[in-house]
Amino acid sequence: MVGISGASGAVLALEALRMLEEMRIERYVTVTPGAELTIGHELGAAAREEIRSLATRDLAPSDLLAPIASGSFEIDAMIVVPCSMRSLAAIAYGTGEGLLARAADVTLKERRPLVLVTREAPLHEGHLEAMLKVTRMGARVTPPVPPYYAGLEDLDDMNRQIAARALATAGLDSGTHLRRWTGSNVISRR
């Protein structure tokens, strides 16, 4: 399950979806109204279409009848990428308001992997409290931090590395995309 919320960094969702498709993992996607704005602003209409085409199912943010709104529907993991402070708060307090927050709530209650690629800076106490709360409930908070040590070639490469790491945090190995530290100063590009 991929939730796309209205934080900056829509490209990370696109990269993650491309990798998940390559990995032949089913992709239930929901895009919040806030994310419709950021995707349009940061990537444009063609990228929104690509996100739609990469989704096994593109679910309306208000569709609380969607399979993923119920814990009886099994998923491997859920990732919210990028995760806005609004969606983070909704998840932290279990509001279940909208499909993204509901699916995340279900993922937590079923003790399945939930990864939040939270994007905001600087952070105030409320943001940090919400991060602590979701962490204590079992989610993993992984802000989009570039791996500067990984011999990044350009911004596209950086975005792919961040997306691959977020998927790995959810237990999904994107294979060749994830450049791993080998313990020396030589970066493995398997």
Ligand X SMILES: Cc1cc2nc3c(=O)[nH]c(=O)nc-3n(C[C@H](O)[C@H](O)[C@H](O)COP(=O)(O)O)c2cc1C
Rounded to 5°, the CA angle 74-79-82 comes to: 155
Q: Looking at beta carbons only, is 38 or 174 nearer to ligand X?
A: 38
Q: How far is the CB of 188 from ligand X (least distance, A)?
A: 31
Touching ligand X, residues 122-181 (CB under 6 A): none
Touching ligand X, residues 75-114 (CB under 6 A): 84-87
Touching ligand X, residues 12-41 (CB under 6 A): 32, 34-35, 37-38, 41
Residue carrying the six token digits 């570039």: 146
Q: How far is the CB of 110 from ligand X (least distance, A)?
A: 22
Beta bridge partners of 83: 118
Q: How far is the CB of 175 from ligand X (least distance, A)?
A: 29
5 interacts with ligand X by CB under 6 A? yes
- Locate all alpha helices (DSSP H) within the chain, ordered by sequence: 10-22, 33-42, 45-54, 85-92, 98-109, 125-136, 155-169
Tokens of 2: 């991929």
In three-state secondary structure terms, 13 is helix
Counting residues that bind ligand X (by CB under 6 A) gives 16
Q: What are phi and psi of 61, to 5 degrees?
A: -65, -20
Cα Rg, the chain, nearest whole Å: 16
Q: Which of 8, 27, 143, 157 binds ligand X (CB under 6 A)?
A: 8
Query: Which residues of the shown chain bind ligand X in the complex (CB under 6 A)?
Result: 5-8, 32, 34-35, 37-38, 41, 84-87, 119-120
